[in-house]
Amino acid sequence: MSIITGGKLIYNKLVQHKINKVFCYSGGAVMSLIDTLYNQNNIKYYISPTEQLLTFQAIGYAKSSNNLGVVIVTSGPGFTNTLTGILDAQNDSTPLLVLSGNVPLISKNTCAFQEAPAVEMSKPITKWSYQIQHHNEISDVIDNAIHIATKGKKGSVHIDLPKCILSAKFLDNTNYDNITEQNNKYPETLSKLNNFNLNSNYPSTLSKIYGRKCYMIDHKPKFYYNNKTKEKYDKIIDLIKNCKKPLIYAGQGVNNSYNLFRKFVKKTNIPVTTTIHAMGSYDENEELSLEFLGMHGSVTANYSIQNADLIIALGSRFDDRTTGNIEKYAPKAFEAANNNKGGIIHINIDDNEFNKIVSSNINIKTDCKDFFETIIPKLEDNYDRTEWLTTINKWKKKNPWTYKKTDNNVTQDVIIELNKQLYKLNKQFLITADVGNNQMITAQYMKFNYPKQFISSGSLGAMGTSISYGIGSSLSNPDKLIVSVVGDGGFEMSLNDLKSINRYKLNNIKIIVINNNSLSMVNCWESLFYNDNFVATNNLDTPPFHKIAENYDIKSFYVDNKKDLSYKLNLFLNYDGSSLIHIKVDKSFCFPLVAPGKALDEIIITENDIKNINKNSEVPS
Ligand SMILES: Cc1ncc(C[n+]2csc(CCOP(=O)(O)OP(=O)(O)O)c2C)c(N)n1
């Protein structure tokens, strides 16, 4: 036993949990913890120009791997700068641990210098937030924080560390045995912690807090299976066999067992649509793939949801961007549920997701891996779906991704060319996208063939994430090519993270800035829903982004016309090291679009249908 500080004990616990990278930004309140990173080899630390981008780096690191992202920041502004990231990680089920300094307990609640009510601020947007108030708690709290962030439905955990705790000296009697699933103390020790308050139901609890009611919850299908798991599996097997128009709707819950998922698809011969977080879990080049669904998703996927008699939702949560108007969602499946001939099966690790948005008639709380392992051996070998697949193939043929060409490139031209060249390179790649049309068009025109190949802020839709996600992804995937797509608006929110690329010596990051001189996703909505009243969405005065990148010592390219696109993109992708290409494009709409308030099959497919939107749509949200 030796005398150590609270900061050192936290460091030891991180090492014990095999955390070998942390993302940190220093400041007075957290110095006793940051000091432990000096002159040691167990944990590498990374520092970005702001805590917000730093947190996005940690999230990118976690999203593109199975690792926990760990962020260490100081009190007050250091902590508040992480809030967007904390919510982003929580909403996209990304494991994130934020350790923040705070003022000494003696100064608590005095509006002391750089004091923030950190736990109160993070509590509603984390799985768990907690302030350590005695050094005796440190070991258990860190064990449990890591457990909570990484197990079940993953998410954000915030631990607040008063300066007096970090600098306190005491005799260390911590048990540093190897952490294993078996000896992990959770959940027994949790109850011992003061003020323990696990918000594990968030975001499901939002609906309870704000009194939102699942509209369908009062309309439970006549045949609702609430019996034993075995009987539920028997019923599922029966439905897979007898339903005429089954459809798989997969979310990121399938990513970690994608090999089994593919087996399940192959055996059942059921077409697959995914959320954007599950793109690639099933190879999008395969015939049964309908690609992603929802607001800007494929017409075929959306039609299929509306026409399916059986929807098998796997590790997905019926996010509003994927359902369209919930009252008009999946009418055929509900009809089939009431006749006991189909319906909605929901497999999810978090039972708070059941009946939150739609009323499913068979729910099984389990990891997708367990579901596949249980069900695959029970499946038959040949399910004939000829009729259903013929209909689907007709929709596919009639409704490829489309856009309007102009004399210059538009975002779609860039992504089509990128897809072509990346596959020619024959190197494993991963794409990060920002938020906006660049994100949706990348999701549409890139073809993904393995999971976690598309990293983006899905639920929160936070602009300014792509480059930092790319940096984090590069740290966890040093052998892949990391391509970060970003619009001019998103780039201007995050360009100071260019500095981290050389600082971290990353040589596999390719940044594509698509500059349409507008915040085009919103600008387009102003055209569609607000009579072309453009307010604060034109961005005509952008500086030469490629020159900015050169000043950060990043090799840069510039394209402003059609004829140079292919050639310059090729030079950029093949440049030996990280590089940036600034591409000036014309503004383009992103279609298809399920306008707000519309059902998935009321989808606007091309620009020719714009007139229908203006007349009938509600104000978007
Ligand atoms: C932090 C943040 N602020 C505002 C928004 C609202 N928003 C969504 S998309 C978008 C436009 C993005 O513009 P740009 O980065 O240029 O990409 P583009 O749509 O042109 O591809 C805006 C402002 C957001 N999602 N995130």
pLDDT tens profile 266-305: 999 999 999 999 999 999 999 999 999 999 999 999 999 9
Two tokens, residue 580: 């940036």
Query: How far apart, in whole angstroms, are the C-alpha atoms of residue 297 and residue 305?
Result: 12
Query: How far apart, in whole angstroms, are the C-alpha atoms of residue 367 and residue 516?
Result: 42
> Please, are residues 512 and 490 in contact by the beta-carbon 8 Å criterion?
no
Q: Identify the CA nearest to 92 among candidates 317, 283, 371.
A: 317
Q: Which residue has the higher pLDDT, 132 or 616?
A: 132
Q: What are phi and psi of 462, to 5 degrees?
A: -90, 115
AA letter at 353: E
Q: What atom in ligand 1 is closest to the CA of residue 491?
A: 15
85 lines ligand 1 (CB under 6 A): no
69 lines ligand 1 (CB under 6 A): no
In this prediction, residue 227 carries a pLDDT of 73
Q: Using the predicted structure, report yes or no on whether residue 205 has a pLDDT greater than 70.
A: no
265 lines ligand 1 (CB under 6 A): no
Q: Using the predicted structure, report yes or no on whether residue 589 has a pLDDT greater than 80.
A: yes
Q: What atom in ligand 1 is closest to the CA of residue 462?
A: 26
595 lines ligand 1 (CB under 6 A): no
Q: What atom in ligand 1 is closest to the CA of residue 490?
A: 15
466 lines ligand 1 (CB under 6 A): no
155 lines ligand 1 (CB under 6 A): no
pLDDT in tens, 488-541: 999 999 999 999 999 999 999 999 999 999 999 999 999 999 999 999 999 999
Q: What atom in ligand 1 is closest to the CA of residue 464?
A: 1
526 lines ligand 1 (CB under 6 A): no
Matching residue, tokens 């399916």: 308
Q: What atom in ligand 1 is closest to the CA of residue 587?
A: 20
Q: What atom in ligand 1 is closest to the CA of residue 523?
A: 11
Q: Calculate how far, in angstroms, residue 495's C-alpha sits from the geometric centre of ligand 1.
A: 15
Query: How far apart, in whole angstroms, are the C-alpha atoms of residue 329 and residue 325?
Result: 6
Q: Identify the CA nearest to 486 among candidates 403, 592, 580, 551.
A: 580
521 lines ligand 1 (CB under 6 A): yes
In this prediction, residue 219 carries a pLDDT of 55
Query: How far apart, in whole angstroms, are the C-alpha atoms of residue 105 and residue 137?
Result: 15
414 lines ligand 1 (CB under 6 A): no
Q: Which residue has the higher pLDDT, 77 or 226?
A: 77
In this prediction, residue 191 carries a pLDDT of 45
Q: Using the predicted structure, report yes or no on whether residue 213 has a pLDDT greater than 50.
A: no
Q: Identify the CA nearest to 155 among candidates 89, 206, 213.
A: 89
In this prediction, residue 284 carries a pLDDT of 98
CA angle, 191 then 195 then 198, to 5°: 65
112 lines ligand 1 (CB under 6 A): no
Helices assigned H by DSSP within 426-559: 437-445, 466-476, 488-494, 498-503, 520-529, 545-551
Which residue(s) pair with 23 in the sheet?
Answer: 46, 71
Q: Calculate how far, in angstroms, residue 243's C-alpha sits from the geometric centre of ligand 1.
A: 42
In this prediction, residue 177 carries a pLDDT of 85
If one residue of 321, 409, 435 were mutated to test the ligand 1 pocket, choosing by the most ligand atoms within 8 A of its CB, it would be 435
> Please, are residues 221 and 361 in contact by the beta-carbon 8 Å criterion?
yes
434 lines ligand 1 (CB under 6 A): yes
519 lines ligand 1 (CB under 6 A): yes
pLDDT in tens, 238-256: 999 999 999 999 999 999 9
Q: What atom in ligand 1 is closest to the CA of residue 488?
A: 16
Q: Calculate how far, in angstroms, residue 521's C-alpha sits from the geometric centre of ligand 1.
A: 6
Q: Which residue has the higher pLDDT, 607 or 234?
A: 234
436 lines ligand 1 (CB under 6 A): yes
Which residue(s) pair with 593 in the sheet?
Answer: 604
Q: Using the predicted structure, report yes or no on whether residue 611 has a pLDDT greater than 80.
A: no
pLDDT in tens, 303-339: 999 999 999 999 999 999 999 999 999 999 999 999 9
Two tokens, residue 61: 């690191």
Q: Calculate how far, in angstroms, residue 490's C-alpha sits from the geometric centre of ligand 1.
A: 6
Q: Calculate how far, in angstroms, residue 519's C-alpha sits from the geometric centre of ligand 1.
A: 6
Helices assigned H by DSSP within 221-279: 229-242, 258-268
pLDDT in tens, 461-474: 999 999 999 999 99
> Please, are residues 558 and 581 in contact by the beta-carbon 8 Å criterion?
yes
Residue 297 burial (CB count, 10 A)? 28
461 lines ligand 1 (CB under 6 A): yes
**Burial call 570-580: b when 16+ CB within 10 Å, e when fewer:** eebbebeebbb
Q: What atom in ligand 1 is closest to the CA of residue 461?
A: 25
Q: Could you give the count of Cα atoms lying within 13 Å of 160 in the half-sphere of its Cβ?
A: 27
Query: How far apart, in whole angstroms, are the C-alpha atoms of residue 254 and residue 368?
Result: 6
Element (H, E) at 269: none
Name the pLDDT band for 215 (thresholds 50, 70, 90): very low
345 lines ligand 1 (CB under 6 A): no
Q: Using the predicted structure, report yes or no on whether residue 198 has a pLDDT greater than 60.
A: no
Q: Using the predicted structure, report yes or no on whether residue 208 has a pLDDT greater than 90.
A: no
Cβ within 8 Å of residue 251, ≥6 positions away = 274, 275, 277, 278, 313, 314, 315, 316, 317
In this prediction, residue 608 carries a pLDDT of 79
Q: Using the predicted structure, report yes or no on whether residue 196 has a pLDDT greater than 50.
A: no
Element (H, E) at 497: none
Q: Between helices 299-307 and 331-338, what is the axis angle to 10°?
A: 20
CA angle, 219 then 225 then 227, to 5°: 135
Query: How far apart, in whole angstroms, are the C-alpha atoms of residue 616 and residue 598?
Result: 9
In this prediction, residue 220 carries a pLDDT of 65
435 lines ligand 1 (CB under 6 A): yes
Two tokens, residue 345: 């099966």
440 lines ligand 1 (CB under 6 A): no
Q: Using the predicted structure, report yes or no on whether residue 456 has a pLDDT greater than 70.
A: yes
Identify each DSSP E strand in 261-419 by its residue range. 272-274, 289-292, 310-314, 343-348, 362-365
221 lines ligand 1 (CB under 6 A): no
3-state SS class at 99: strand
Element (H, E) at 419: helix 411-425
In this prediction, residue 609 carries a pLDDT of 78
Mean pLDDT over each residue of the chain, to the nearest integer: 92
Q: What are phi and psi of 278, to 5 degrees?
A: -110, 10
Q: Using the predicted structure, report yes or no on whether residue 193 has a pLDDT greater than 50.
A: no
